[in-house]
Amino acid sequence: MNTLDIFPLIEPDPDDPAYRLVTFVSEEPDCDGVLALLHTVTDKDRHAGDLTPHLMRRRNGRWELTHRLRADHRASYQLHPFHGPTPGTTRADWLHVLDHARPDPHDTEPRLPARDGRHPSSVLSLPEAPAQPYARRRDGVPRGRTVSHTVAGRRVDVHLPAGHGPGPYPVAVLLDGEMWGQVLSVGDTLDNLTADGAIPPTVALLVHTMGPGRPEDLSCNPGFVDLLADRLLPWAAREFGATDDPRRTVIAGQSAGGLTAAFAAYRRPERFGNALSQSGSFWWPDETEFDEGSEWLTRRFAAEPGRAARFYLEVGLQEWMLLTQNRHLRDVLTARGYELEYREFNGGHDYACWRGGLADGLAHLLGSPAGMVSTDSHTSEPSGA
């Protein structure tokens, strides 16, 4: 291989300037095949029972695979060399693949860390993907600090802004806090946002929700939301000067956490005046669980009077299992007169996308007049797939 080659190789699509041809390469010498895992794109075909489009081909002494992707696509990805037959598509087979897949040795962007002992992922950001100016640690930015506590039996990591004093401070409740804090270092993002004036100094409560109780906590559970509203927020006010003003309080989550963030604004708008939902699981529950059918929360918003709450919703164009339901909630909230910012990004169910969207959402909902992001409400038009 020419040492000047950089992979994945990104080339214009000669048939459409809105697309790129992206060629992934592996030089694994001793294997029977290599599977390229492009987040959510590969998952869709795995769900359909066919991984063939993601098997690299042997060419010129190396493994290669070319995808045609729109020029604003962003995704984490990994490569999985394997021996023997092609990996299967059952859940057990897929978990084995995820446990062993590795980042691309040719990648040039900083890698996306993982948890549970898995390898980090490489990140593909095509030229027109949305900028993520706050995601990486910067030199010269005043640093906040993070302290760990247990509140009502729950682990909570609290990120305090640089120069933290008596307050009151805006407060951001981040669900799946162990991922955002311990793995993704969201404190750097918060410090960057604050340093740029995109948000005022803010107390962030990183609530651990990725344990065995996650399916119960993050499924429109009134008890869990009441615990956050009646135990966590008052505790943060006493200990760290967090505000009790719902207009300066954000709850944020992804997937089932996104569902829960919206539910918190529905159930307790006097405490959670801002909901930031990324790729929210608004299909919940499965039609077999309740006689009422799916999209329970969306139907509640449609049937009941509006609440004093603002929303920031985003979803990926590749999220075939969530896109329709997020658009439905957007339409219902708009019809009911809610203040709403809605965005669609060209990516999947992926922290590589969410870490940028989280920063944008916090800036939109908490942004001060001196900030770079206006808090004026508008609904973005959905972009094409």
- The pLDDT tens digits for 80-128 are 999 999 999 999 999 999 999 999 999 989 999 999 999 999 999 999 9
- Report pLDDT for 201: 97
Region 5-33: what's the mean pLDDT? 94
- Report pLDDT for 382: 38
From 84-88, 286-290, 295-299, 377-381, the region with the lowest mean pLDDT: 377-381
pLDDT(131) > 70: yes
Sole residue written with tokens 């359909």: 48
State what percent of residues in the chain have pLDDT above 70: 92
- Report pLDDT for 7: 86
Q: How confident is the model at residue 60 (pLDDT cuts 50, 70, 90)?
A: confident
- Report pLDDT for 374: 32
- Report pLDDT for 241: 98
pLDDT(368) > 70: no
Region 4-14: what's the mean pLDDT? 87
Cβ burial, residue 269 (10 Å; 0-12/13-18/19+)? middle
Residues 292-349: tens digit of each pLDDT: 679 999 999 999 999 999 999 999 999 999 999 999 999 999 999 999 999 999 999 9
Task: Return the amino acid letter for 162.
Answer: A
- The tokens describing 162, both together, are 């640089």
Residue 242 contacts residue 171 (beta carbons within 8 Å) = yes
- Residue 382 to residue 345: CA distance in whole angstroms: 9
- Report pLDDT for 384: 37
Q: Give the CA diameter of the chain.
A: 65
What rounded mean pLDDT belongs to the chain? 92
- Report pLDDT for 379: 38
Task: Please give the helix or strand (H or E) that residue 63 lies within, else none.
Answer: strand 62-70
Q: How confident is the model at residue 286 (pLDDT cuts 50, 70, 90)?
A: confident
Residues 248-280: tens digit of each pLDDT: 999 999 999 999 999 999 999 999 999 999 999
- Report pLDDT for 376: 34
Residues 201-216: tens digit of each pLDDT: 999 999 999 999 999 9
- Residue 271 to residue 152: CA distance in whole angstroms: 18
- Report pLDDT for 378: 33
Residues 14-27: tens digit of each pLDDT: 999 999 999 999 99
- Residue 82 to residue 32: CA distance in whole angstroms: 6
Residues 145-199: tens digit of each pLDDT: 999 999 999 999 999 999 999 989 999 999 999 999 999 999 999 999 999 999 9
Q: Which of 231, 280, 237 is nearest to 256 (CA)?
A: 280
- Report pLDDT for 289: 53
